[in-house]
Copies of this chain bind each other. A is one copy, B any other.
Amino acid sequence: MAEVSQMIDSDVFLAFSTYATIVVLKMLLMGPMTGYYRMTRKAFSNPEDTAIHGRNEEDKKKFLRTDPDVERVRRCHQNDLENIVPFVVIGLLYALSGPALSTALLHFRVFVGSRFLHTVAYLLPLPQPCRGVSWIVGLLSTFSMGYRLLSTSLVL
């Protein structure tokens, strides 16, 4: 991990920057998608959110409920948080550790592709093991970068 400062101007860092932005924006879109499902399914968590949908108190209480579709989007969002955030952290440090551009691109593309597949597989939903496999492929990409990081620059 010598000359980290030179890596920050490298193609690897630019590539990381692009893929990280794309996959984080994709994760961020799960928020509005949850909102959309909550509005169309009329399933809310907060009493104050039901005001525009229900006129009287009875109506409002009715909309304070969980909906299977809303919960599915939320689980997908949570899985994104659990997997994309570690990718961003480890990917950033990995991009600064001087990997070959082709190896780095492979890791970034596999990860980002696997997460888009994961979302499609979760939301449609596709039959298993589509979602499981796309989740594991993403995990392996992050672990592979983490392994390289620790094997080249372990400083305890």
Q: Are A46 and B28 in contact, with the CB atoms below 8 A?
A: no
Are the C-beta atoms of B48 and A139 separated by less than 8 Å? no
Q: Say whether B150 contacts A24, CB under 8 Å.
A: no
Inter-chain contact B89/A125, CB cutoff 8 Å: no
Q: A2 contacts which chain B residues (CB < 8 A)?
A: 9
**Given the interface contacts A8-B4, A49-B128, does A28 sit within 8 Å of B150 by beta carbon?**
no
Interface residues of A: mostly helix, strand, loop or mixed? helix
B1, B19, B52, B146: the one contacting A24 at CB < 8 Å is: B146
Chain B CB within 8 A of A114 CB: no
| Of listed A1, A31, A96, A139, residue having the most chain B CB within 10 A | A31
Q: Chain B contacts of A30 at CB under 8 A?
A: 82
B-contact 0/1 string along A17-56, CB 8 Å cutoff: 1111110110110111000000000000110110110000
A150 to B13, CA, bound (A): 14
Is A103 an interface position by the 8 A CB rule?
no
* Known contacts A24-B89, A75-B45; A81 and B83 CB within 8 A of each other: no
State whether A11 touches B72 (Cβ < 8 A). no
Chain B residues positioned under 8 Å from A5 (CB to CB): 5-6, 8-9
Confirm or deny: A85 has a beta carbon within 8 angstroms of a beta carbon on chain B. yes
A-B pairs, top 4 by smallest CB distance, nearest first, are A14-B155, A28-B86, A4-B8, A17-B93
